[in-house]
Copies of this chain bind each other. A is one copy, B any other.
């Protein structure tokens, strides 16, 4: 499958777009990376009593983004979704590796992509430390590394009966942007511009994750939809949940939509990259303080309950305090399936 040439196109590309910028990022954050791009492996230092958190996400053209997607946004988002996973465990970013398949070596695309990538890399002190580049259908695979004090990782499996269920920020806007781009919904230009970053340039909640290390019993980040992702916490914790539909935090833009659309997008829209976490009621005051410190709304949307049947269940409560029927609840409890 290999063809030979004496040109060094591939290596030139890597050098030009990634290695130089990576070196700059490393200089600004020399703490934990011992060796970056350019050898068989990268090397990271470890510190006593820490664990290394590792997460991988693969973004595929036509599936996770449009083929003509703005490459600068794409560079941001590709790392953002991984940082969001680190945030969900309470980890502090150490670095990331990038494997990239490209249909062709397009300098303009690479320049824009690397601009977005290094913008978020620098914003979160998470340098590029290694990777791979190859020809092939566009595919972006990032593996990110974070550090966390021993035994402090916030797992999905730790939810306890009586815990409050919390959500950061607002949910549903990324789905609303997608609906507008797909012409499922007409969204005025001003509204679209106000919220489009929620789809294209999500904000990983790194500082929130770190603040929650001593607070939350369970956490995850919302990528496939709030309720579908909450179900992962319930499955691993063997618990049920009660969720109050009218408490789902929504932006003023989403609040202009019909109530059905609001609930649908907020409950299972996906691509939110907010954190969903559970914590004892005794932590409410501490959580309110974190919210104020980070200037980030944190909303209590429900509570964890004992599991009543063989499988975990989410009981949705409407604004009148009544439980939704299975027919009403079903469309809100779906989750994203990449093979659908």
With beta carbons under 8 angstroms apart, the residue of B155, B156, B220, B268 that contacts A4 is B268
Would you call A63 and B134 a contact (CB within 8 A)? yes
Contact with B along A111-150 (1 / 0, CB 8 A): 0000000000000000001111111110101010110101
A65–B136 Cα gap in the complex (Å)?
12
> A291 CB to closest chain B CB, in angstroms?
21
Complex alpha-carbon distance, A1 and B65, angstroms: 6
**Is B42 in contact with A338, judged by CB distance below 8 angstroms?**
no
Number of copies: 2
B9 to A134, Cβ gap below 8 A? no
Given known contacts A10-B338, A143-B56, A337-B10, is B148 in contact with A43 (CB within 8 Å)?
A: yes
A41/B54 contact (C-beta < 8 A), A4-B268, A337-B7 known: yes
Please give me the residue from chain B that is nearest to A104 by CB atom. B339
A88 CA to B335 CA, complexed, in Å:
42
Q: In the complex, what's the smallest C-beta–C-beta distance from A81 to chain B, in angstroms?
A: 10
Q: A338-B134, A340-B7 are in contact. Are A42 and B55 (CB under 8 A)?
A: yes
- Nearest CB in chain B: distance from A88 CB, A: 4
Complex CA gap A190/B139 in Å reads 39
- Pick the residue among B52, B134, B141 that contacts A64 (CB under 8 A): B134
Stretch in A22-30, A31-39, A302-310, A316-324 with 4+ CB within 8 Å of B? A31-39
19 A–B contact pairs at CB < 8 A? A1-B63, A1-B66, A2-B271, A5-B337, A6-B333, A7-B340, A11-B337, A43-B51, A43-B153, A46-B46, A54-B130, A54-B145, A56-B130, A56-B131, A56-B141, A56-B143, A63-B136, A64-B134, A105-B339
